[in-house]
Every structure is written in structure tokens, then in C-alpha cells.
């Protein structure tokens, strides 16, 4: 991998090394590994603790944990397309044998495995408990949006299924989101863990280099985001992941006054009045063409971004089912997303960035 980029049996080191980030920590100690997730879901009052141990050594005693997982893991289940992106980055996606929403994966190899029956369905939209238990997974990577969905996680655990809650979606910082790769890597051998560290180092170096270059551009375009849905225009808050990407790419976020990390519901009239004069419009849902956009609302023809043909979709790498590589590879490659946005925001200043990976104009 550059800015312009055989698995052995799992083993655990017996060092006292510890990696600690704002959202999680990973510690190797006395033959087993401890992962602590500080906020498993939004509003969680307690962290999660996972203990990983070698099956040949037996489950360690005298230590409490939310989940114990014996290594090596050979049968993996996933409950998000981003999980595939992480496992692909460390070349461990071949161990995925079950997943939810199997029609929403973009990766070609994953789709081949699904079509050949090597990856079974755990349900669509909602994870099917019975199918999950029957899949006999060594570990299920899942998530919980809130306390209610966390109850489903606890239900599976009571039935004997080890569930690891991945809350990378709560991260507002693109690099911190990518660092969840280390959590996935912890379930594999030391070579995979080293591969994760090297991968993340290169991603961060690339990201910082692109961000530093963007900070030197003299013009900062105003940028709006999203598309109305059922009478409401949901926009990302100023402290969100999307807003951070826009800022790092040298853009001025149209809705920066909404100081929150989550989405902000705006009535269509308010959103239109605020976005009407934005220089650039990105991520207009699954809209892929200008005619389709006007089919949603003809008033969009009056937008400055429409008149200037500066509306860009992040569905360049997608298929007819709505599967989108932005939500797979993009989770662990924020440097590629940032490079795309710099090229979109500063087309005259960023000719060296290269062809966009995830973005394209809806007018082409």
C-alpha cells in the first residue's frame, strides 16, 4: 500500500505490552489477551471485557469477562459490511462462514463465497438467533446501536454464542475508526497483528500527508451532505465522522453550527435554504444521476452545486443491490476517502491525488 499501497495457528505472546486508545485497549498478559471496549454502544454505562486464550491451554480462571474466546478461531460470523473491510485488510476474510445482509456485500470474492454456499445467511436487517446458533461460530462480530439492541447480544451469549461488540461506528475521527483493525487482528496470530500495525501506520501517514497538503489550499468550498428521506433531511452533526473528513479535506461544512456527533433531522425547507448556496454537495444517498436527483425534488435544479455540476456520489464502487465498497474498504482506508474529497473540493490544486476511488460526479 502506498499514498499514491499463509496464516499460522493463532498464538498469544506473554508480554505485558498494552495498546490503549480512547475507545479500546488491548493487553497481552500471562498467556492470554484482554480487550476492553470502553463504549460498546451509545450511552453504555459499563465497558465490555473480552478474554482471548489458547484452546490448548484452557480458559483462564480467576478473571472476569463479558466473553471468553478460545483461539484459534476458524469459523467467523459478521453482522456488518464494515467487518468484512477490516477482515479483508488483514487477509482473514476467508474464515467468514456466516453473515447478515448477504446481498449487501460489494467484494467480489465474498460474493463468490456466498454464491457457492460457503457463507450462510444469518438473516436480513435483523440477525436470526436460530441460524446464528446453528452456524456453530467460534466468534460473531456484531454491534449494538443502543441498550435495546444490546439485549439481543446478551441473549446470544446466554445461548453459548461468543459475541464481540464492534463499536467503530461511534468514532468521529477517521483514523480512530480505522484503528479498530487492531481489535480484529487480536483474534489471530502475531503475524496478522503485525500486519495490522503496519497497515495502520501507512494509512495514518497517508492521511496526515493528504490533510497537511489540503490545509495549504487558499480556497475552502462550502459543502453540504445527504438527501431528504420521508420529509426530513438528516445531516451529520459538526462533530461527526463525515464532518471531520470534510474539514480535513479543506472544506467548510454547511451544517457546522449543529455541534453534535450524531445525525441532525432538519425539515426540508430549512435544509434547502441552508444548502442552496453550498459550493459542493456530496453523498446524496443512492442517487447516481442528475435526472434521478431531480426526480426527488425539482427544486434541486436551483442549487448552486447543481448549476455548477459539483454534486458527487460516494457510490462509484457499488452494484444494483446497493452494496457499496465505501462501507467496506472505506472504513479502514480513510486516506482513500480523504484523497477523493480533496480532489473534489480542490480540483485545480490536487491534480497529483490521482483518480478517485469511491467518488464520482452524478453528471457523468
Averaged over 343-364, what is the pLDDT? Answer: 84
pLDDT at 13: 42
Q: What is the pLDDT of residue 350?
A: 57
9-18, 247-256, 270-279, 333-342: lowest mean pLDDT where? 9-18
Residues in contact with 45: Cβ distance below 8 Å, sequence separation at least 6, in sequence order: none
- Category of 24 on φ-ψ map: left (φ > 0), alpha (ψ -120 to 50) or beta: beta
pLDDT at 44 over 50: yes
Please state, in angstroms and rounded to a whole number, the distance separating the CA atoms of residues 20 and 69.
20
Residue whose grid cell is 482513500:
336
User: What cell does 224 get?
Assistant: 453540504
Strand partners, 313: 360
Average pLDDT of the chain is 92
Closest CA to 332 of 94, 2, 84: 84
- Summarised one tens digit per residue, pLDDT across range 67-103 is 999 999 999 999 999 999 999 999 999 999 999 999 9
Question: Is the fold of 18-203 the same as that of 215-361?
Answer: yes
CATH T-level assignment (fold) for domain 18-203 = Rossmann fold (3.40.50)
Q: Is the pLDDT reported for residue 131 higher than 90?
A: yes
Residue 309 has pLDDT above 60, yes or no: yes
What phi, psi does 139 have (nearest 5°)? -160, 145
Question: pLDDT at residue 133 above 70?
Answer: yes
pLDDT at 125: 85
Q: How confident is the model at residue 354 (pLDDT cuts 50, 70, 90)?
A: low
pLDDT band at 288 (very low <50, low <70, confident <90, very high): confident
Buried-exposed string 333-347: b where 16+ CB fall within 10 A, e elsewhere: bbbbbbbbbbbbbbe
- Cα separation, 332 vs 216, in Å, equals 26
Q: Which three cell numbers stand for residue 197?
A: 500495525
How does strand 222-225 pair with strand 252-253?
A: parallel
Domain extents for the chain? 18-203, 215-361
Instruction: Tell me the pLDDT tens digit for each residue of 202-216.
Output: 999 999 999 999 999
Distance of CA 281 to the CA centre of its chain: 21
- Rounded Cα distance between 287 and 317, Å, is 13
17 falls in which pLDDT band (50, 70, 90)? very low
pLDDT band at 353 (very low <50, low <70, confident <90, very high): low
Residue 16: the pLDDT is 38
What kind of architecture, by CATH, is found in domain 215-361?
A: 3-Layer(aba) Sandwich (3.40)
* Percent above pLDDT 70 for the chain: 93
Cis omega (within 30 of 0) for bond into 177: no
In the predicted model, is pLDDT for residue 301 greater than 50? Answer: yes
What crossing angle do the helices spanning 241-248 and 334-345 adopt, rounded to 10°? 60
Contact by Cβ (8 Å): 270, 254: no
7: pLDDT strictly greater than 80: no
Quick check: 15 pLDDT over 50? no
Amino acid at each position: 500500500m502506498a499514498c499514491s499501497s499463509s496464516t499460522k495457528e493463532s498464538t498469544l505472546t506473554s508480554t505485558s505490552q498494552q495498546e490503549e486508545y480512547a475507545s479500546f485497549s488491548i493487553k497481552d498478559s500471562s498467556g492470554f489477551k484482554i480487550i476492553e471496549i470502553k463504549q460498546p454502544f451509545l450511552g453504555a454505562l459499563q465497558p465490555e471485557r473480552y478474554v482471548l486464550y489458547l484452546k490448548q491451554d484452557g480458559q483462564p480462571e480467576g478473571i472476569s469477562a463479558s466473553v471468553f474466546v478460545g483461539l484459534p478461531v476458524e469459523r467467523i460470523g459478521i453482522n456488518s459490511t464494515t467487518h468484512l473491510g477490516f477482515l479483508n485488510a488483514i487477509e482473514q476474510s476467508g474464515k467468514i462462514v456466516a453473515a447478515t445482509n448477504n446481498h449487501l456485500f460489494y467484494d467480489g470474492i465474498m460474493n463468490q463465497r456466498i454464491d457457492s454456499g460457503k457463507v450462510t445467511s444469518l438473516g436480513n436487517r435483523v440477525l436470526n438467533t436460530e441460524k446464528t446458533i446453528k452456524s456453530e461460530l467460534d466468534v460473531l462480530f456484531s454491534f449494538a446501536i443502543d441498550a435495546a439492541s444490546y439485549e439481543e447480544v446478551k441473549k446470544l451469549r446466554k445461548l453459548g454464542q461468543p459475541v464481540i461488540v464492534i463499536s467503530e461506528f461511534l468514532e468521529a475521527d477517521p483514523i480512530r475508526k480505522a484503528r479498530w483493525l487492531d481489535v480484529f487482528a487480536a483474534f489471530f496470530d502475531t503475524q496478522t497483528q503485525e500486519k495490522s500495525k503496519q497497515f495502520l501506520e501507512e494509512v495514518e501517514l497517508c492521511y496526515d500527508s493528504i490533510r497537511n497538503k489540503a490545509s495549504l489550499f487558499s480556497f475552502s468550498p462550502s459543502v453540504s451532505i445527504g438527501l431528504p428521506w420521508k420529509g426530513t433531511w438528516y445531516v451529520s452533526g459538526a462533530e461527526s465522522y463525515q464532518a471531520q473528513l470534510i474539514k480535513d479535506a479543506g472544506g467548510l461544512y454547511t451544517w457546522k453550527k449543529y455541534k453534535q456527533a450524531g445525525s441532525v433531522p432538519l425539515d426540508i425547507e430549512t435544509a434547502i435554504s441552508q444548502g442552496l448556496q453550498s459550493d459542493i454537495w456530496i453523498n446524496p444517498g443512492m442517487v447516481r444521476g442528475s435526472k434521478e436527483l431531480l426526480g426527488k425534488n425539482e427544486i434541486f435544479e436551483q442549487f448552486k452545486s447543481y448549476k455548477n455540476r459539483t454534486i458527487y456520489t460516494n457510490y462509484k464502487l457499488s452494484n444494483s443491490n446497493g452494496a457499496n465498497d465505501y462501507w467496506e474498504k472505506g472504513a479502514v482506508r480513510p486516506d482513500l476517502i480523504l484523497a477523493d474529497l480533496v480532489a473534489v473540493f480542490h480540483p485545480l490544486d490536487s491534480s497529483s491525488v490521482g483518480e478517485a476511488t469511491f467518488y464520482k460526479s452524478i453528471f457523468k
